[in-house]
Chain A
């Protein structure tokens, strides 16, 4: 390559780099819209029992706070309306109307949770509880034998100090360390006795002792989402309990079950307070409420966040961003922009490695098809199609048709096959994401034709070799195109495509040996007949 070519290549690579640098350093945008793992999709489902009649079924609805962002609320309870009542123990949603039996009432929403970390003073002698509800201090509901047990604990653990924080710590550590978690032990007294308890018992004991010591305390009920590790998997959840303590005018979170002192991880969704059970809300003793949670890889929210940041920058340069296109078109561009990346791989495999393929762009089209379905399905579907096509072609050859009508019959047969497959698939639900539109039907037909001719002229061995080459490149392209970060990156910085051209020039100017040629020509290094 001469210096002019190098200059072009360097420019083509530097310009996008400069643009990316400008966007992220000068305009101070995040390099990519981050993938957030803090989103959860929750669903509260009530399975109504009893007879169809005019009735009212209630359930707790989470309240948005600075630690809890609630989005995308969807609810469905045909023949009934949802009304929301705000109460001290939390928001209550009421399904009101003629609710038939076996009716499924669903309330769905997405939450984003922030971690809680409170700063509390080291010493505290008084708590001003004048402004708060007296129930948070009320220890009168404790029965006699539990009170006795509590007093015994207090004698054992409470420090002499008047410092409330010291007391709080002693009580917290007693419950967290000494009472081990056992989901079966629900009763407060049993729990104190056996030193084992579930989250409700532990939260209850914590509240009792604190209130008994004139420290205002809440029992908070909600969801603990920690056990769901796998994305996309829906899980049924039970209500979980923790506490909030009123310190210096703020409600500070504690969890004696999982060990959070004046803090809370981002797995807690508060639903209601002070009530012992979620069924207390239902107002319908036979109905059951179930809660489902699913972790979300929510790209959409992050993208809208990114979009907002783009808008705030108010730079004319940024108004060209693909993020401002309608979502449907964005989706198309996400696929479209990947094609040149596939082309780099293809050029590399063909011109530097030396792999042979059917048709030039067939591997990329196949890779895109695999991406729409999945690799195993895609490749078996394709092989099946080519196999059937080969058979059809073999039969058609016997009736001497002119080539264009013959190819058109092949094309029609491919379409018929895909149609039958789609109908069958819809009924059997075998492959949920099968979209025939994206399948390169015409290309497949030509592929079948080329394949058949090559089978006849060069024999099965050479043909299979080329077929494997085609599959190999499409597998690699599929694999690379599935890298989400790559897709996001090119979509965020479409200027990268100039660098793609630069790289393609480099590959195009590569005029040394292909990898496969090292094997093809190795015999030339042997002495041959002359020796």
Chain B
């Protein structure tokens, strides 16, 4: 039975964790370029050079001493996000939806005091949420506003779009939709929905919740299939440019769509997850091999999108 499963997986070109690391991440992602994606402060700086929109950083905390200034710094902002510069898997991200007189309401409704926020920032600075455990920076950032068209398929949080880019070519995409189970977060591990996106049409093809197929959003009851992602072409263009930005051959680009500012890159991932295959009912390996065939170093970003779209 197990051998049969392995054969079936091979046939559809399913990419496993070992092959992802051994065949793609290690050969195509040079270690020296990891900070470009792991350190969001650096990513933000590079994004400006490559003209890729990212949410504005209001302030970057680098020293504990700066925390004193927090309440002054937060005054002009009604809503904001605090995140670690080197965080992983969405850990350590605090989203404040409203603030009033040094009281800050999380999007989930829980109200925090300035003391809570200072504590959170100092935790981030001491490296509690950082990938490597070393001291980190804390970013206070623009909070992306939920796009009008995405309201019906998300619960509380902001959905994001993950595009896998291999050697500069888009390979596969999905959108991650927060649910009540995921506590408003767009993280599949925590119970967000993953919906695969057809690269050509920008429409969802299938959806999964906790590794199982699902047809309707459990909280909003909205259809999860054939849902059209707004500004899809723009998203693809933005995603492929991240190949140059990151210097990584195999990279996951996370994009969110702001109601006013449009799509913006939230973060890049040097080790993007594999559940995207379930969301698309499609193996990554076949597509990655195809890209190795069509790869041409003279291709411009738009050429790369074109060849990908015609290949898949």
Contact = CB atoms under 8 A, between A and B. Distances in A.
Asked if chains A and B come from one complex, the reply is: yes
A22 interface: no
A514 B16 contact: yes
Interface residues of A, number: 33
A529 B9 contact: no
A521 B126 contact: no
A16 interface: no
Interface string A477-503: 000000000000000000000000000
A508 B8 CA distance: 24
Interface string A506-531: 00111111110110111111111110
Most buried by A among B23, B118, B278: B278
A458 interface: yes
Contact of A512 (B18, B91, B211, B283): B18
Contacts of B225: 529
B206 interface: yes
B213 A523 contact: yes
Nearest to B282: A524
Contact of A509 (B16, B22, B128): B22
Contacts of B8: 525
Contacts of B212: 523
Contacts of B9: 513, 518, 521, 524-525
A453 interface: yes
B136 to A, nearest CB: 10
B16 A529 contact: no
Contact of A402 (B126, B205, B274): B126
Contacts, number: 94
A395 interface: no
B269 interface: no
A524 B17 contact: no
Interface string A2-24: 00000000000000000000000
A320 interface: no
B5 A518 contact: yes
B18 A513 contact: yes
Contacts of A403: 122-123, 126-128
B47 interface: no
A513 B128 contact: no
Interface in B1-47: 2, 5-6, 8-9, 12, 14, 16-19, 21-23
A86 interface: no
B64 interface: yes
Nearest to A522: B5
Interface in B118-143: 118-119, 122-123, 126-129
Given A523-B208, A529-B225, A404 B17 contact: no
Interface string B103-118: 0000000000001001
Interface in B187-212: 189-190, 205-208, 211-212
A518 B212 CA distance: 14
A354 interface: yes
Contacts of A509: 22
Contact of A528 (B91, B211, B213): B213
A259 B13 CA distance: 74
Contacts of A453: 91, 128-129
8 contacts: A453-B91, A458-B190, A512-B16, A513-B6, A521-B14, A523-B213, A524-B278, A529-B281
Interface of A: 351, 354, 400, 402-404, 449, 453, 457-459, 462, 508-515, 517-518, 520-530
Q: Which 4 A-B pairs have the closest CB atoms?
A: A403-B126, A511-B22, A513-B16, A511-B19
